[in-house]
């Protein structure tokens, strides 16, 4: 590590010791929605004041941190057990990536500073009959004067109950081929006709929501990119979800989730024997640690690349999501019946909290959003390896 990076790491470590709330896990366990939202907003501003909230943004918008420094920052935040920016995740990654790549100057000037001030976003892509096959979406946006009248339904919208704005895909040309008649809109969640209904999950949380849209008017000024070109714009959003966000998540998994797994294995059981004394457990931990090292390297390469390969982001997303499942599954196996006695966890902890049964159940979320694992394998095969698309059965 260079002297510059070593100095930066020392600065981040000192900041973490001074600013990360020592008892945040206890305080957040069982927290109400209002307490969770207030905590997330306060923590985001704490990171922002230090320049750590959006290091991946361009310097002109408050970021500009090198990939090497970002890796150091995320590693230290994970090592010091910092809360995750769960509530701001879509805003600082997906919304920002979309606006920076395809938004107008007015849209960027309106929303990027607002995101830094705490504006929360949700992604309105998936529908009941258009999840993996996103191009089959049925939500419509009919042009009327200076606005679009939107009708339809979205589902699995993470954090919609707390969101101010929505990244919305809707069909503006029903007669066009599936991918060519979709437009990308920015929708104010406070608009008349927006109805958000939380979905209770197996973990007991209600992170996901349904969004019902009944004659919702979205101004034409909120169109991102040309009309009917939303599919192309959406690739910027999905690229961020599959790629740029993984740098932080990989460090969190390695220095948070894996560390808790090692601690679990080192803890003696009722018979006084620690799982770590078993050679099979040590071998499994060695495999997971090797996989994590590979994941972190792939993430760093992806973010640093001037022109990533057409399937690189899908490779990283697939690898991360399935490694998360393997790690949390092993945590449940090692913890045994005790894994099922922890029925709550801090909502600001993500899926690497050490509440193994809940983490394992939650890990399945990651093989679905941004394209299921099956979709990622198709992208890797077709775009990365140049394999022919499988013909449809007659």
Please list, in sequence order, all residues whose beta carbon lies within 8 angstroms of the beta carbon of residue 76, skipping any fewer than 6 positions away.
9, 12, 13, 16
Catalytic residue among 76, 241, 248, 291: 241
pLDDT cut 90: percent of the chain above it: 64
Residue 205 and residue 191: Cα distance in Å, rounded?
26
Q: Does the annotation mark 241 as catalytic?
A: yes
Q: Tens of pLDDT along 66-91?
A: 988 988 999 899 889 999 999 999 99
Please check whether residues 89 and 151 belong to one and the same domain.
no
Stretch among 174-178, 180-184, 318-322, 382-386 having the lowest mean pLDDT: 174-178
Please check whether residues 224 and 249 belong to one and the same domain.
no
- Nearest 5°: CA angle at 347, between 267 and 65? 95
Residue 182 and residue 176: Cα distance in Å, rounded?
9
The CA-atom distances, in angstroms, between 117 and each of 46, 52, 159, 215 are: 11, 14, 18, 30
Please check whether residues 159 and 195 belong to one and the same domain.
yes
Give the CATH number, domain containing residue 274.
1.20.140.10
DSSP annotation of 204: S
Please check whether residues 257 and 376 belong to one and the same domain.
yes
Residue 156 and residue 163: Cα distance in Å, rounded?
14
Q: Average pLDDT in the 260-267 region?
A: 94
Is the pLDDT assigned to residue 103 strictly greater than 70? yes
Residues 335 and 264 sit within 8 Å (Cβ to Cβ): yes
Give the CATH number, domain containing residue 217.
2.40.110.10
The pTM for the full model equals 0.87
Query: What pLDDT, on a 0 to 100 scale, did the predictor assign at position 271?
Result: 87
Q: Tens of pLDDT along 351-393?
A: 778 889 989 988 988 887 667 888 889 989 999 999 997 665 5
Averaged confidence pLDDT in the chain:
90
Residue 260 domain-assigned (yes or no): yes
Asked which of 198, 228, 258 is the last residue of a domain, the reply is: 228
Is the pLDDT assigned to residue 198 strictly greater than 80? yes
Q: Average pLDDT in the 202-214 region?
A: 84
Q: Which domain holds residue 172?
A: 120-228
Domain count, the chain: 3
Please check whether residues 220 and 263 belong to one and the same domain.
no
Q: Average pLDDT in the 244-265 region?
A: 86
Q: Average pLDDT in the 99-126 region?
A: 96
Residue 256 domain-assigned (yes or no): yes
Please check whether residues 191 and 264 belong to one and the same domain.
no
Residues 218 and 191 sit within 8 Å (Cβ to Cβ): yes
Please check whether residues 164 and 251 belong to one and the same domain.
no
Is the pLDDT assigned to residue 323 strictly greater than 80? yes
Is the pLDDT assigned to residue 240 strictly greater than 70? no
Please list, in sequence order, all residues whose beta carbon lies within 8 angstroms of the beta carbon of residue 234, skipping any fewer than 6 positions away.
125, 134, 169, 182, 184
The CA-atom distances, in angstroms, between 383 and each of 301, 313, 377 are: 19, 11, 10
Please check whether residues 357 and 253 belong to one and the same domain.
yes
């Amino acid at each position: 590590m260079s002297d510059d990076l070593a100095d930066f790491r020392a600065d981040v470590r000192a900041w973490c010791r001074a600013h990360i709330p020592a008892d945040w896990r206890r305080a957040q366990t069982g927290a109400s929605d209002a307490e969770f939202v207030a905590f997330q907003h306060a923590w985001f501003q704490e990171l922002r004041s230090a320049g750590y909230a959006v290091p991946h943004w361009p310097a002109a918008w408050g970021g500009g941190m090198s990939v090497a420094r970002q890796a150091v920052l995320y590693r230290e935040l994970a090592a010091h057990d910092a809360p995750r920016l769960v509530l701001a995740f879509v805003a600082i990654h997906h919304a920002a990536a979309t606006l920076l790549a395809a938004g107008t100057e007015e849209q960027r000037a309106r929303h990027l500073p607002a995101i830094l001030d705490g504006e929360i976003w949700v992604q309105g892509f998936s529908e009941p009959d258009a999840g993996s096959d996103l191009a089959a979406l049925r939500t419509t946006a009919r042009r009327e004067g200076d606005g679009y009248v939107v009708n339809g339904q979205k589902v699995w919208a993470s954090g919609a109950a707390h969101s101010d704005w929505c990244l919305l895909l809707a069909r503006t040309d029903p007669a066009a081929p599936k991918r060519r008649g979709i437009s990308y809109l920015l929708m104010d969640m406070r608009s008349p006709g927006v109805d958000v209904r939380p979905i209770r999950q197996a973990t007991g949380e209600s992170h996901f929501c349904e969004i019902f849209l009944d004659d919702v008017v979205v101004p034409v000024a909120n169109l991102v990119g040309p009309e009917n070109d939303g599919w192309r714009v959406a690739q910027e959003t999905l690229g961020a979800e599959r790629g740029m966000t993984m740098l932080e998540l990989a460090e969190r998994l390695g220095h948070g989730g894996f560390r808790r797994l090692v601690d679990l294995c080192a803890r003696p059981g009722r018979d006084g024997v620690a799982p770590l004394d078993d050679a099979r457990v040590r071998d499994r931990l060695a495999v997971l640690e090797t996989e994590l090292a590979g994941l972190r390297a792939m993430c760093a390469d992806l973010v640093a690349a001037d022109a990533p390969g057409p399937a690189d982001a899908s490779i990283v997303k697939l690898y991360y999501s399935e490694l998360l499942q393997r790690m949390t599954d092993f945590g449940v196996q090692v913890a045994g019946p005790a894994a099922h006695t922890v029925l709550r966890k801090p909502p600001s902890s993500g899926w690497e909290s050490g509440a193994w049964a809940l983490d394992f159940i939650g890990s399945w979320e990651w093989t679905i959003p941004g394209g299921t694992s099956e979709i990622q394998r198709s992208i890797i095969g077709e775009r990365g390896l140049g394999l022919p698309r499988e013909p449809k059965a007659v």
